[in-house]
Chains A and B, each alone.
Chain A
Amino acid sequence: MAGDSLKQIDSSTLWGGKVSPFTTSYGKLMMWFFLVSDALTFGGLLVSYGFTRHDCQVAWPIGEETFNSLPFLGHGYPLLYVALMTFILIVSSVTMVLAVEAGHRMDRKGVTKWMIATIIGGFFFVGSQAWEWYHFIHGSEFGKVELADGSRAIVKGHFGEIENFKVIEAGHHHKKGDVITEDLMHEFQHAVVAGHVHDGKIHLHDGSVAKVNRKADEHVKLLIKEDGSKHHLGDVIEGSEAAKIYSEVINSGVPNRVIYGANLQANEYGPSQYAQFFFFITGFHGFHVFSGVIINIIILFGVLRGVYHKRGHYEMVEKTGLYWHFVDLVWVFVFTFFYLI
């Protein structure tokens, strides 16, 4: 018997294995293992989000208050845009599974058609996410305001449009009597944050002072999110009083009483961790979608060149399909825990 252990066996027989206990190919099994680890990463992110939210002593933003805009249509559509994004991703998941099904019938035309549909759906989703980020970063026209008693409130309603700035004191650049009509909102918000707006007058960068001609705000509602000495979390101030308070805050000339949009330090929606998690989780997911689209395009080229047809099976399409469905799966959870709950 001693001779047997010394017998030469070529390495492909020794290490090649034979029957897989999973009756599946190596590539597919490894894709599954990768997805398990990636799912644990996302699981860790969402659990830490829940952890932070539970321990946060400041009111956490409410999904339908934060995300209520649609492109071209403005505000007042709670959650509809994310719902649309979810639907786009589900549909592109369906087209992907149809591509895999066509591959199992060796239907090259079918695979091509459904792969192209999947890629288009993926681009739509990435584009939607870009719009969502743009909107999140820029924030509302009102911003979040600090009231006289130290409480903080988010503001809902219809922001009175700025018509122009009429220069009343000349500076380096603008002369007295000039009427400025460009980039008004941007200038105005910067000046409010810096405390350069006072009694309806704006101090511009060049040292000039201009009168702000602005329509009246309508249907203003202040929703208190942080306690002060007078107002408390959950209080709602409405009607003409709300409009008056808001106007006082932005015309106070005191810097940093208003926060617009979001960055990693502060945001108008809630505690700073909220925006940090938003950027990290949706960003990491968006990165997955983007790389998924790129992988799908590469596989589409393989399909068009007939690589998989010659090979006799379309398993590459199936493997990328697994990744693509996983991206959809993650979004289902992000949607629930970030937007709904």
Chain B
Amino acid sequence: MERDDIIEYSLDAHHSEEHGKKIRKKIWQVTILLTLVTIVEVAMGAFIKQADSWVWTATKWTFIALTLLKAAYIVLVFMHLGDERKSLKYIILVPYFIFIIYLLFICLVEAMAIDSALKLYMGL
């Protein structure tokens, strides 16, 4: 049976030649940005030594911040999540962040507890 009540969403994404030019420009801009961020990360990784100092702590947090920046550009621009409806954006991002933050919280708390237990009982 031929259906006339189904909306073909797949066609919504089509765009014109002019609009395509704009999109391609954005893609190349993001490419340059991602490459630069990677170069900065590698330079920091190669030249800053791991140590118990505030410099290394700051470096670690910079790595995490830069990684999240890269991830945001990949998800929002390359995967077009930024162009999707709000409802789709939230149904993807909200459950993920709830679970991953919960997992991080549990593992940080547990790791610290085990660490102090090892130090206390095994004298490590």
Contact = CB atoms under 8 A, between A and B. Distances in A.
Interface string A191-228: 00000000000000000000000000000000000000
A22 B87 contact: yes
Interface residues on A, range: 35 or more
A16 B78 contact: no
Nearest to B95: A36
Give the residue among B24, B50, B79 with the most A Cβ atoms within 10 A.
B79
B20 to A, nearest CB: 5
A183 interface: no
A47 B104 contact: yes
Given A39-B96, A86-B38, A104-B20, A313 B14 contact: yes
Contacts of B115: 54-55
Interface stretch (A168-176, A282-290, A322-330): A322-330
A193 B75 CA distance: 48
Interface residues on chain B, size class? 35 or more
Given A16-B3, A55-B111, A36 B20 contact: no
Nearest to B48: A64
A89 to B, nearest CB: 10
B7 A22 contact: no
Nearest to B117: A55
Given A63-B45, A325-B79, A332-B71, A18 B7 contact: yes
A51 to B, nearest CB: 5
Contact of A312 (B11, B31, B50, B87): B11
Contacts of A54: 111-112, 115
B1 A12 contact: yes
A22 B115 CA distance: 45
Nearest to A101: B23
Contacts, number: 161
B22 to A, nearest CB: 10
Interface string B33-63: 0110011011011100010000000001001
Interface in A24-55: 24-25, 28-29, 32, 36, 39-40, 43-44, 47-48, 50-51, 54-55
A104 B45 contact: no
B60 to A, nearest CB: 5
B92 interface: yes
A315 B27 CA distance: 19
Contacts of A62: 50
A12 B79 CA distance: 31
A43 B110 contact: no
Contacts of B114: 55
A66 to B, nearest CB: 12
A79 B84 CA distance: 36
A339 B67 CA distance: 13
A272 B101 CA distance: 28
A63 B97 CA distance: 28
A90 B71 CA distance: 11
B74 A329 contact: yes
Contacts of B88: 22-24, 29, 32
B120 interface: no
Interface string A50-94: 110011010000111000000000000011101100110011011
Contact of B63 (A18, A78, A96, A336): A336
23 contacts: A16-B6, A40-B99, A43-B103, A47-B100, A50-B111, A54-B111, A57-B118, A57-B124, A78-B45, A79-B45, A83-B38, A94-B27, A97-B78, A98-B24, A102-B20, A104-B13, A312-B11, A313-B14, A315-B13, A318-B80, A321-B79, A341-B60, A341-B64
Interface of B: 1, 3, 5-17, 20, 23-24, 27-28, 31, 34-35, 38-39, 41-42, 44-46, 50, 60, 63-64, 66-67, 70-71, 74-75, 77-80, 84-85, 87-88, 91-92, 95-96, 99-100, 103-104, 107, 110-112, 114-115, 118, 124
Interface of A: 10, 12-13, 16, 18-25, 28-29, 32, 36, 39-40, 43-44, 47-48, 50-51, 54-55, 57, 62-64, 78-80, 82-83, 86-87, 90-91, 93-94, 96-98, 100-102, 104-106, 312-313, 315, 318, 321-322, 325-326, 328-329, 332-333, 335-336, 339-341
